[in-house]
Structure 1
Amino acid sequence: MASHLNLFIFTIIASVIKLSESTRSFTIVNYCKDTIWPGITHGENFSGGGFALKPRQSAVYTASPGWGGRIWARTGCNFDKKGNGKCQTGSCGTILNCTAPSSPPTSIAEFNLGQIDYYDISLVDGFNMPIVVKAVNGTGNCSTAGCDGDLRQNCPSELTLKADGKVVACRSACDVFNTDEYCCRGMYGNPSTCLPTNYSKSFKQVCPAAYSFAYDDPTSVITCTGADYIVAFCASRNQTICSYHDKQLACNQSKGIRVISHGWWVPILALSFMFVSWWVML
């Protein structure tokens, strides 16, 4: 019986190790002064996630190695107890869990995970919130992507989006003017004809490590291998940010961060239940 028990425990441990190797952790941190409502969508499948993060709060999202999708912040939201409501910026439908892509203007973290990961911060759909992406324990370039400047402070008047008399976002020129030149479509739909405009240049000046227009690839896309990622809102690209390792949130400089875990505890709970059920049957 003891040998069977040891074998069973070894199988559980091996399964947990395999599980940890086959998943990636995204630590999503809110350094903003106000509550935000991060949205998460997987590629073209817009049945994604959504939750609230109060100031100084953090959440963990677990993804598969081949995951590709977007993470962004919704602001000025008001949801009822059933999760129905709306937001001033970043809306992805009318419920807390996203059922559609984000509505511009939105600052977006984009990921394509694989043998080599590709990630970037995109301002192609405009700007609503400073956002930074840091890779943890990866190999390769793995540099920090992001826009830690606040484009709302000096947004051109024709691009501003206001709510209650306050500038809550800076729209893209494509969203405002809807021309082929600004939207990089039609005769402008290739890298040789889609060039930076005065508007995208102003975005790039404030946020040099972010996409400012559709073909801004050379200075915006970053590669890394085997990393976990931190997506931090209202953070500086140079500051130490809380990260999630071995199911613990570690903060070197900032204090008071609270963590909400999403995903990893489900398989662990299932394995625990399997163990108890097996022991009872003996």
Structure 2
Amino acid sequence: MNAVYLCLTLLLTFEGVAFGTTFTFINRCDFPVWPGILSGAGSPALETTGFELSVSGSRTVSAPSGWSGRFWGRSGCSFDGTGRGSCSTGDCGSGEVECNGGGAAPPATLVEFTLGKGSSKDFYDVSLVDGYNLPMIVEGTGGSGACESTGCVTDLNRKCPEELRAGGGVACKSACEAFGSPEYCCSGEYNSPSSCKPSLYSQIFKAACPRSYSYAYDDATSTFTCTGADYTITFCPNSPSIKSARGTASTPATPTNNNPGSLLSGTNPPIPVQQTSYAANWLADLAFSGSRRNQPLTSVLLAFGFVATSSILLSFRQHL
């Protein structure tokens, strides 16, 4: 009996070790980034909940099998010698380098993980549902299954619609955060996939970052799986195009269509034409610049499709 008990104990111990996962964080921004970590309900806290990554710095953090939680990057941070301070974007409200159970203040780009146990799959995604502050990419190594990379490598801060800009251009809000309406937040009577549809704003995010969550029910193209992998999370993977959060953000183009009125899009609330035309011009610019960077053709076609749709609807309303 003692031998059986010992074998079971060793098996359980081995399972916990063998199926643990390591997350390696790499900073390729031209400024420091402070990753934040929040464990999900029922998951243990990891060895750290926040730390500094200097330029070109890296750090590895281990998580047990079955762990769930989220990661994000904080920028524009200032901490004193005791570790007290705050950040311009992604601040977790703890007033310290360690987040200590505090989540990211939106807008912030989030990486979400649910690790499998044993031979079960890991599920992971990059979400812009709470807005965007830093580009990042997630890559799995050593696993089995699809194990596709995902993320948002576009610097959305440089092209963020004026009405979504935050902190003078250091972050880009989601439409939910900016306007607070149930239609954009997928709340209340819109709390289901059938009633909450993509908005023009979420489509801007989707066109720029096709593999990221753009709104709450964007599951089909945004959730990825892998089994038994370790993961690398890289901030600013295209570092030459990323400017410091303390620097001056570029000013978005001026809207070219200022006709009065509003645009109704499905179940979404009316969007003033000035906002709509701005978003349409943003999409057109994204499509043009994206084609030069050889972004996926589907993103470019999607962008032009929404521009054409917006123009047709506006023309139709003007003749009513």
Same fold (TM over 0.5): yes
> Where does residue 291 of structure 2 map in the other structure?
none
> Where does residue 98 of structure 2 map in the other structure?
97
Greater Cα shift, 154-163 or 62-71? 154-163
> Where does residue 85 of structure 1 map in the other structure?
85
SS of 2:155 mapped into structure 1: coil
Q: Quick one: which amino acid aligns to residue 50 of structure 1?
A: G
> Where does residue 72 of structure 2 map in the other structure?
72
SS of 1:223 mapped into structure 2: strand
1:162 deviates by: 2.3
Is residue 154 of structure 1 aligned with residue 156 of structure 2?
Answer: no
Is residue 34 of structure 1 aligned with residue 39 of structure 2?
Answer: no
Quick one: distance in 2 between partners of 1:110 and 1:125?
A: 12
Is residue 145 of structure 1 aligned with residue 150 of structure 2?
Answer: yes
Task: Show the 5 A alignment for 1:118-267.
Answer: 118-163=123-168, 167-235=169-237
Q: Is the 8 A contact 2:19 2:228 kept in 1?
A: no
The runs of at least 4 aligned residues of structure 1 exceeding 4 Å deviation read 14-20, 45-48
Q: Is the 8 A contact 1:46 1:98 kept in 2?
A: no
> Where does residue 264 of structure 2 map in the other structure?
none
Q: Is the 8 A contact 1:46 1:101 kept in 2?
A: no
Q: Is the 8 A contact 1:128 1:152 kept in 2?
A: yes
**Percent of aligned pairs with the same amino acid:** 45
Quick one: distance in 1 between partners of 2:193 and 2:138?
A: 26
- Deviations 1:189-219 (Å, cap 9, x if unpaired)? 1001111000000000000010000000000
Using structure 1 for the length normalisation, give the TM-score.
0.74
Using structure 2 for the length normalisation, give the TM-score.
0.66
> Where does residue 59 of structure 2 map in the other structure?
59
Task: Show structure 2 runs of 5+ residues with no match.
Answer: 1-10, 239-320
Quick one: distance in 1 between partners of 2:167 and 2:21?
A: 37
1:128 deviates by: 0.1
Q: Is the 8 A contact 1:31 1:56 kept in 2?
A: yes
Q: Is the 8 A contact 2:16 2:65 kept in 1?
A: no
- Deviations 1:123-166 (Å, cap 9, x if unpaired)? 00000000100011111111001000011011000100124xxx
1:84 deviates by: 1.2
Is residue 111 of structure 1 aligned with residue 109 of structure 2?
Answer: no
Q: Quick one: which amino acid aligns to residue 91 of structure 1?
A: D
Instruction: Rate the CA distance shift 1:194–1:233 in 2: closer, same or farther, 3 A.
Output: same
- Structure having the higher strand fraction is 1
Quick one: distance in 2 between partners of 1:46 and 1:142?
A: 25
Quick one: distance in 1 between partners of 2:13 and 2:51?
A: 26
1:23 deviates by: 1.7
- Deviations 1:79-124 (Å, cap 9, x if unpaired)? 1122211100001121111131110000000000011100000000
Quick one: distance in 1 between partners of 2:74 and 2:90?
A: 4
SS of 1:49 mapped into structure 2: coil
> Where does residue 247 of structure 1 map in the other structure?
none
Q: Is the 8 A contact 2:70 2:113 kept in 1?
A: yes
Quick one: distance in 2 between partners of 1:189 and 1:46?
A: 29
Q: CA RMSD in A?
A: 1.9
Quick one: distance in 1 between partners of 2:80 and 2:12?
A: 39
Q: Is the 8 A contact 1:110 1:121 kept in 2?
A: yes
Task: Show structure 1 runs of 5+ residues with no match.
Answer: 1-13, 237-282
